[in-house]
Structure 1
Amino acid sequence: MEFSVLTVNPAKVETACLVVPLFADGDLLSAAAQLDDASERLIAQLLERGDFSPELANVQLIPFAPGLAAERLMLVGLGKRDKFNEGALRKALDAAFGALAKLPVDSVAVAFTDADIDDRDVAWNAQMTLESATRAVYRFTQCKSTPAEAPQLAQVEVLIDDAGQVDAAKAGARIGAALGDGVNLARTLGNLPGNICTPSYLASQAETLAGESDGTLTTEILDEAALESLGAGALLAVGQGSAEPSRLIVMKYQGADDPDEAPHVLVGKGITFDTGGISIKPGAGMDEMKFDMCGAASVFGTMKSVIALKPKLNVIALVASAENMPDGRAIKPGDIVTTLKGLTVEILNTDAEGRLVLCDALAYAERFQPASVVDIATLTGACVIALGDHASGLFSNDDDLALDLLDAGENAWDRAWHMPLWDDYQAQLDSNFADLANIGGRPAGSITAACFLSRFAESYPWAHLDIAGTAWDSGKQKGASGRPVGLLTRYLLDREGERVVTSEA
C-alpha cells in the first residue's frame, strides 16, 4: 500500500474518494468543517435531517458533493466523544476501508487524524490508518479457480492540519503499511490448506522471505537428519506419524551495527495440520486445525515487517514445524521421548503436541545467548475458555519482559493478558516414569502448558503467548487474523527505541 501525507485544504484534494469522520455530538472536526463550508453545509444538513447517523462504524457514501474536488465523499461515524477510544477508532477505520475496498477507487484521502485520542499522537493515528487500509484489501484467492476481482485501492493520502507533524505522520504510516503487509502474510500462511502449507513449504517461504530482504535476512533449514543428530527428540516424535518431514526453520535478521549483539528470538509453533495424533480430535471443526501453525505464521509476518522497517537490532526467528498424524509409526500415550535439553517427557496425550515441538526450539534458542525469547503458539483450548477471542494469554518468567509485551500489545491494539506462572502449578506435570508429563490434567490447562515450556527456558528472559483464541475466526468469516504480528513488531521496535535512548545517554 502506497501512502502520502498532505496538509492542504481537504476541499481542494483531488481524489477518487474523500473520507471524513464525524462524532455524534459536538462541533464538526476540522476537515469536516472545511468541507461543510465548501459544500454549502451539505454535511450539516445531512446530520440535521437525520439522513446520516454518526453511530460508531456507520458509513455513508455520497456519490457527488458540490464544491469539492473529490469525486466522492464518505462519512464515517465515530459515536459519542466520551466513548471514543483506540478500539472505536479501529472499528471506524475498518468499516471505512472495508467499504472502500468494494468501490472502484484506486486512491483515497482520509482525515482520521482529526479524531484525537488521549495519549495517542498523529504517528499512532497514521499507523492505524495504513494498517487498516492494508488489511482491508486482503483477499485469499490462491485456491479459487475463478478468483473474485481484487480491490483496486492502492494509494492512501493522510490529511493532517499541522505541517509540523508531517514527518511524524509519515513515520507512523510507514509502520502501519509494513505491519499490514506482515499481518496479510500471516493470514495467507494460516489460510492455506494443510496439503499445501507443509513444513517443507514453510521452509521454502523462509527462503523466499530472505530473498526479498536485501541481504538482511538469512536462513538455515534443519531437516530430520540434522534434528536427529542434534537430539531434538520431541520435535521429531510429533512428526514421526506423518509422511511430511519435520523441519526446524531458522531465520536471522542482522540489523544491529554489532553482529554479536544479543538477539531477540521469536519461536513459532508450526503444526501445519493437527489431527491430535493417536489421541485423535473429534471430526467437527477439524478442518480448522490447519490454523495450528498460526504461531509460526505470525513469526513469518513479523519478520516481513522487520525487513521492511529495518530496525537496528538483531532478531532470530525459529519455527518448529511438523504435521501431527495418527499413522502406525505415530507416538502413543505412554511413550517417553528425550528432548534436546535432555529432559525426558512422558506423553500422556498426543494432542498436546505443540509444547513438544516448542520445547526443542526453546532449548535450541539457548545457543544464541538471547536478550529475550518469545514463543507464540495456538497451544490450548483452555486459553480460549479463559480469555475468548479478544486477548492472547501471556505467561513469562520475567516481569519486565511481560510488561514490555503488554505495553506493546496496548500500543498496537493487539492486546494480551498476563496470566500466572506460579510454581504451585508445576507439580501437575509430575510423572512416575519420566522427568515430566506433557499434560497436567484439566485444571488450569493453559497455565500448566506454559509451565511445561518454562522448564526449557530457564536460562534467559522468556515469554509465551497462547494465541489459540486470537489467531483465527470461525463461522461465516472463517480465516486467520494475522495476530499477534502487531504486538510482536511493536515489541521489537520498542527494543530498538531503548537502544537509541541508551546510546544517547
Structure 2
Amino acid sequence: MEFSIKSGNPEKQRSACIVVGVFEPRRLSPVAEQLDKISEGYISSLLRRGDLEGKTGQMLLLHQVPGVLSERVLLVGCGKERELDERQYKQIITKTIETLNESGSMEAVCFLTELHVKGRDIYWKVRQAVEATQASRYRFNKFKTRKKEPRRPLRKIVFNVPTRRELSVGEKAVQHGVAVAYGTKICRDVANMPPNYCNPSYLGEQAKELAEKHDKISVSLIDEQQMADEGMNSYLAVVRGAKNEGLMSIIDYRGANDPNAKPIVLLGKGMTFDAGGISLKPGEAMDEMKYDMCGAAAVLGVMNTVAELNLPLNVIGVLVGAENMPDGDAYRPGDILTTMSGQTVEVLNTDAEGRLVLCDALTYVERYNPDSVIDVATLTGACVIALGHHTSGLLSNHNPLAHELQNASEQADDKAWRLPLYDEYKEQLDSSFADMANIGGRPGGTITAAAFLSRFAKKYNWAHLDIAGTAWKSGKDKGATGRPVPLLSQFLINRANNESNDS
C-alpha cells in the first residue's frame, strides 16, 4: 500500500475516487460543499432525497459527478460534527477503506484528515488513518489453501492536509504510521502462528531475520545450558516439562549517538504455548493459549519499528521464549525454586508460570545497566476482569516512567491504565517455606503478579504492561491485535524526540 500527502482543492483532483465527509443531518463538510458547488447542487439534491443521512459509517459511492474530474466521489457519514472523537474517526477510516477495496478504486484522495477531531492535530489524524488503513487490510491466511482477495484492491491513498505548511507534518505522520503499522503486522503475524510452528526456536529465527535486515541490530540466543550456567533455575523449571527447549532471544539495537548510552530494555513474555503445566488449564479455548507469547511478538514488532525509523536510541528487546506443558518431568505445586537473583519461590500454581520466567529475565538484564526496563506480558486473567478487553494494565516502581507510558498510550490511542503497587499487596505473596509464593490469591491478582516481578526489578526503573485482555480477540474476529506495539513505539518516538531536543 502506497501512502502520500497532498494539499489541494478537491475540484482539481484527478483520481479514481475522492473521499469526503457528510455530517448529520445531511450536512456537508467544507470539502463536500466545494464539490457540491462545482456540481451545481448535485450532491445536496441527492441528500435531500434521503440517499444519505450522515450517520457514522454510512457510505454512498457516486459515479461521474458533474464538474468533478475524479471518476468517483465517496460520501462518508461522520455522525454529528461536534461529537466526532478518536474512536469514531478510526471507525470511519476503517469503513472507508473497506468500501474503497470493494469499489474497484485502486487509488483515492482522502479529505477525511481535514475533519475536526476533538483534541487531535493533523499529525495524529494522518498517522491514525495510516495505521487504521493497514489494520483493516490485515489478513492472516498463511495456512488457507484458498485465499480470497479483492479483484481490484486499493493500492494508493493520498491524504489531504488543509495547507501547504502542514505537508511536512503529514509526511512525518505517514513515515511513523507506516513503521508502526508494519511493526504491528509483524506482531500479529508471529502471534497468529500455530504453536506447532511457533516455538521458542521460531522466535529466535524471527529475531535473526530482523538482524539480517537492519545493520544496527545484533542478536544473541541464550539456550538452556547457558541459562543453567547463569543460575536461571526458575526459568528452567517452567520449561522442564516441554519437548521444545526454552530460548531467550536478545535483540540489541544501537542507534544512539553515544554507543555507551544506557539502553531501554523491553522484555516480552514468549510462552509459545501455555497448557498450565501440572495445574492444567480447562480445555475450553485452550487453543488461544498460543497467544501467551504476544508480549514477545510485540517486542519483536517494536524492535522492527525502532530500526525502520532509525531512532537515535539504544534499545534491547528480549524475547523470553518458553513452553509450559504437563510432563513426568514438569515442575509441581509445592516445589521451591531458587531464582537467578538468589531469592526463593514456593510454587503454589504452575499456571502462574509467566512471572517465573520473567523474574530470571529481569535479573539477567541488570548487566546492561539499563536506563529503564519495561516488561510486556499476557500475565493475568485478573487483568481482563479488572479492565476488560479495551485497556492494558500498567504498573511501575517509577512515577516518571509510568507517566511517560500513560501519555504515550493516549497519544497512540493504545489505551493503558495505571494500577497501584502498594506494599500491602506484596504481603499476599508471603510464604511459610520460601521468600515468596508465586501467587497471592484471587484479590488484586494483576497487582500481586506485578508485585512479584517488582522484587526482581529493584536495580532500575521498571514498568510492567499486562496485555492479557488486549493482545488478542476471541470469537468471529479471533486473532492477535498487535497491541501494545503502537503504545511502546510512541514511547520510544517520544524518547527519541527528547534526545534530539537535548543534543
**TM-score above 0.5:** yes
- Report Cα offsets for 1:321-374 as digits up to 9, x if no partner: 101110111111111112121211111111111111111111112111111111
2:42 and 2:267 mapped to 1: Cα distance?
54
- Report Cα offsets for 1:68-125 as digits up to 9, x if no partner: 2222222222211222122221111122123333443332211122112343221111
Q: Is the 8 A contact 1:47 1:53 kept in 2?
A: yes
Instruction: State the shift of 1:440 in Å.
Output: 0.4
Corresponding position of 2:158:
157
Corresponding position of 2:191:
190
1:101 and 1:246 mapped to 2: Cα distance?
43
Identity across matched positions, percent: 47
1:223 and 1:102 mapped to 2: Cα distance?
48
Instruction: State the shift of 1:152 in Å.
Output: 2.7
Aligned AA (1:336): I
The alignment covers a number of residue pairs equal to 502
Corresponding position of 2:87:
87
Corresponding position of 1:339:
339
Instruction: State the shift of 1:128 in Å.
Output: 0.8
Task: Please provide the CA RMSD for this pair.
Answer: 1.5
Structure 1 counterpart SS, 2:157: strand
Instruction: State the shift of 1:13 in Å.
Output: 1.9
Q: How does 1:222-301 map to 2 (within 5 A)?
A: 222-301=222-301
Q: Does residue 362 of the first structure (1) align with residue 345 of the second (2)? A: no
Aligned AA (2:424): D
Q: How does 1:19-98 map to 2 (within 5 A)?
A: 19-24=19-24, 28-98=28-98
Aligned AA (2:357): V
Aligned AA (1:434): A
Q: Is the 8 A contact 2:5 2:171 kept in 1?
A: yes
Instruction: State the shift of 1:501 in Å.
Output: 2.4
1:237 and 1:154 mapped to 2: Cα distance?
50
Is the alpha carbon distance of 1:233 and 1:65 closer, same or farther for their aligned partners in structure 2, counting shifts above 3 Å? Answer: farther
Instruction: State the shift of 1:391 in Å.
Output: 0.6
Q: Does residue 380 of the first structure (1) align with residue 389 of the second (2)? A: no
Aligned AA (2:360): D
1:101 and 1:381 mapped to 2: Cα distance?
37
Aligned AA (2:340): L
Aligned AA (2:166): Q
Corresponding position of 1:406:
406
2:104 and 2:87 mapped to 1: Cα distance?
28
Query: Tell me, which stretches of 5 or more residues in structure 1 are unaligned?
Result: none
Aligned AA (1:37): K
Corresponding position of 2:417:
417
Corresponding position of 1:212:
213
Q: Is the 8 A contact 1:397 1:462 kept in 2?
A: yes
- Report Cα offsets for 1:265-323 as digits up to 9, x if no partner: 11100000111111011101111111111111111111121111111111110111101
Instruction: State the shift of 1:5 in Å.
Output: 1.1
1:322 and 1:496 mapped to 2: Cα distance?
32
Aligned AA (1:486): P
2:260 and 2:80 mapped to 1: Cα distance?
52
Structure 2 counterpart SS, 1:308: helix
2:33 and 2:109 mapped to 1: Cα distance?
16
Instruction: State the shift of 1:453 in Å.
Output: 0.6
16-25 vs 329-338, which deviates more?
Answer: 16-25
Q: Is the 8 A contact 1:25 1:81 kept in 2?
A: no
Structure 2 counterpart SS, 1:211: helix
Give the TM-score of the pair, scaled to structure 2.
Answer: 0.97
- Report Cα offsets for 1:231-266 as digits up to 9, x if no partner: 111211111111101111100111111111111111
Aligned AA (1:198): N
226-235 vs 32-41, which deviates more?
Answer: 32-41
Is the alpha carbon distance of 1:42 and 1:332 closer, same or farther for their aligned partners in structure 2, counting shifts above 3 Å? Answer: farther
Q: How does 1:122-201 map to 2 (within 5 A)?
A: 122-149=122-149, 152-201=153-202
Instruction: State the shift of 1:397 in Å.
Output: 0.5
1:13 and 1:279 mapped to 2: Cα distance?
63
Q: Does residue 473 of the first structure (1) align with residue 469 of the second (2)? A: no
Aligned AA (1:6): K
1:101 and 1:223 mapped to 2: Cα distance?
46
Structure 2 counterpart SS, 1:469: coil
Corresponding position of 2:221:
221
Q: Is the 8 A contact 2:179 2:309 kept in 1?
A: yes
Aligned AA (1:200): S
Q: Is the 8 A contact 2:294 2:377 kept in 1?
A: yes
Structure 1 counterpart SS, 2:28: coil
Aligned AA (1:226): Q
Q: Is the 8 A contact 2:232 2:339 kept in 1?
A: yes
Q: Is the 8 A contact 1:10 1:159 kept in 2?
A: no
Aligned AA (1:268): G
Structure 2 counterpart SS, 1:101: helix
2:436 and 2:101 mapped to 1: Cα distance?
51
Q: Is the 8 A contact 1:30 1:114 kept in 2?
A: no
Instruction: State the shift of 1:27 in Å.
Output: 5.5
Instruction: State the shift of 1:28 in Å.
Output: 3.0
2:39 and 2:209 mapped to 1: Cα distance?
50
2:300 and 2:45 mapped to 1: Cα distance?
49
Corresponding position of 2:437:
437
Q: Is the 8 A contact 1:178 1:309 kept in 2?
A: yes
Structure 2 counterpart SS, 1:492: helix
Is the alpha carbon distance of 1:49 and 1:203 closer, same or farther for their aligned partners in structure 2, counting shifts above 3 Å? Answer: same
2:433 and 2:59 mapped to 1: Cα distance?
62
314-323 vs 142-151, which deviates more?
Answer: 142-151
20-29 vs 388-397, which deviates more?
Answer: 20-29
Q: Is the 8 A contact 2:405 2:491 kept in 1?
A: yes
- Report Cα offsets for 1:458-478 as digits up to 9, x if no partner: 111111011111111111110
Corresponding position of 1:353:
353
2:238 and 2:102 mapped to 1: Cα distance?
43
2:399 and 2:56 mapped to 1: Cα distance?
37
1:232 and 1:164 mapped to 2: Cα distance?
55
Q: Is the 8 A contact 2:255 2:310 kept in 1?
A: yes
1:138 and 1:413 mapped to 2: Cα distance?
19
